[in-house]
């Protein structure tokens, strides 16, 4: 019987030692003073200390003071017998001075008359990092939503002002027509002149309303493809704003996924609008090109001396960036005092898209 007990005890100790050594979770055996007696390879690797170095330290030395204080308060309760175990998330110093997050599990181990403390540390570095990234992403997304809502409201207000202006022009035209002499033959010449002016005003209003409707619903994009629709947009914008635009396209397939075509078309619209919004631009260069795996849009020659960091946070830029993000695209901007400002947009292109 005694031999059986001795054999079982020896087997238990070997099993414990094997589990202690092979465990992927960091484990240390400590005395009731909080000093490590043994540390397994996982814990040594996690913190970067050798087992001998860990034996020379107190458990409080492995964490910042505020974390160590909370841990030690619970440790003293464990020593006093008030609790048998506890768990907490805390920071740990690595040998190089960096900090990592870990989940610490402490329990009391009684072997005969001896009492030891088992400390287990699970690395939370990646989990904490992923959580922090998620929180930041959600905050950025919320901020972006707010910016897009404001951008949409500003766009609606702009369209409303333009439509109101068109209506005002029509009202003035109607009043002028009402003032035309009805019977005075001697004033026929003046009436003809007024009619000619009214005809031109009607043409101007029709042109402007057409341009606005084309901005809202680019039918050319659907029927002619991105390259041709972008060319027409540049020509109309050039004529309306009296800005010279050098437009070039190369290798852009006519058949593209609708979401990609519309995204790049809207980005080009916004970039051209910025040319008039910020002013100082009398010449623009627009390049649209396709490579085997992506389509690039470059708009060069915008206003000089632009603060790109601030401009990228502007609602129009945020709208462009979000549009591109929806098709896995990217937006960047660079500004040089002599060469002006350049907007780069790129969208990945699937092999079957062309």
Q: How far is CA 101 from the centre of its chain?
A: 26
* Lowest model confidence (mean pLDDT) among 91-105, 132-146, 174-188: 174-188
Q: Considering only 94-103, 121-130, 210-219, 259-268, which range has the smallest mean pLDDT?
A: 210-219
Phi, psi angle pair for 338, to nearest 5°: -90, -35
Alpha helices in 179-225 (DSSP H): 188-216, 219-224
C-alpha angle 143-346-298 in degrees, rounded to nearest 5: 105
Q: Which CATH class is domain 2-123?
A: alpha beta
DSSP structural state of residue 252: -
Residue 264 token pair = 């790049």
Q: For residue 346, name the pLDDT band (cuts at 50, 70, 90).
A: very high
| Sign of the alpha-carbon torsion through 123, 127, 130, 131 | negative
* pLDDT band at residue 278 under the 50/70/90 scheme: low
Token pair 């050594």 is at which residue? 21
**For position 44, what pLDDT does the model report?**
94
Residue of 73 and 275 predicted with greater confidence? 73
- Can you give the pLDDT at residue 342? 86
Instruction: Say if CB 254 and CB 294 are below 8 A apart.
Output: no
State the chain's maximal CA–CA distance in angstroms. Answer: 139
Residue 311 pLDDT grade (very low, low, confident, very high; cuts 50, 70, 90): low
pLDDT in tens, 318-332: 778 888 888 889 998
pLDDT tens digit sequence for 249-272: 999 998 888 889 988 988 998 888
What would the pLDDT profile of 5-37 be if each residue is shown by its tens digit?
443 444 455 666 777 787 888 999 999 999 999
Instruction: List the structure tokens of 177.
Output: 């027509």
CA–chain centroid gap for 100, Å, is: 26
CATH number listed for the domain at residues 220-354: 3.30.565.10
* Other residues' Cβ atoms within 10 Å of the Cβ of residue 208: 16
């Amino acid at each position: 019987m005694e031999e059986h007990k001795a054999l079982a005890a020896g087997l238990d100790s070997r099993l414990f030692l094997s589990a202690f050594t092979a465990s992927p979770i960091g484990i240390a055996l400590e005395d009731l003073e909080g000093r490590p007696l043994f540390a397994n390879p996982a814990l040594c690797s996690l913190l970067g200390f050798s087992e001998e170095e860990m034996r020379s330290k107190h458990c409080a030395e492995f964490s910042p003071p505020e974390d160590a204080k909370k841990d030690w308060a619970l440790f003293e309760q464990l020593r006093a017998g008030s609790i048998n175990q506890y768990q907490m998330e805390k920071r740990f110093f690595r040998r190089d001075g960096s900090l990592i997050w870990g989940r610490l599990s402490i329990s009391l181990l009684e072997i005969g008359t001896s009492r030891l403390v088992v400390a287990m540390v699970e690395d939370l570095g990646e989990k904490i990092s992923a959580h922090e990234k998620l929180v930041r992403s959600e905050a950025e997304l919320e901020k972006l939503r707010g910016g897009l809502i404001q951008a949409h409201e500003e766009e609606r207000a702009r369209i409303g002002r333009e439509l109101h202006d068109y209506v005002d022009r029509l009202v003035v035209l109607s009043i002028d027509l009402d003032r035309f002499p009805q019977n005075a033959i001697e004033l026929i010449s003046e009436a003809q002149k007024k009619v000619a002016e009214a005809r031109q005003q009607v043409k101007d209003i029709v042109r402007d309303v057409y341009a606005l409707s084309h901005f809202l619903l680019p039918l050319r994009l659907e029927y002619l493809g991105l390259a041709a629709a972008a060319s027409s947009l540049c020509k109309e914008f050039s004529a309306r704003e009296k800005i010279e635009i050098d437009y070039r396209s190369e290798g852009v397939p006519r058949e593209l996924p609708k979401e990609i075509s519309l995204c790049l078309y809207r980005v080009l619209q916004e970039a051209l609008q910025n040319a008039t919004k910020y002013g100082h631009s009398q010449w623009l260069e627009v390049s649209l090109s396709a490579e085997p795996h992506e389509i690039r849009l470059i708009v060069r020659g915008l206003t000089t001396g632009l603060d790109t960091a601030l401009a990228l946070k502007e609602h129009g830029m945020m709208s462009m960036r979000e549009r591109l993000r929806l098709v896995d695209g990217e937006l960047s901007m660079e500004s040089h005092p002599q060469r002006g400002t350049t907007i780069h947009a790129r969208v990945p292109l699937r092999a079957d898209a062309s």
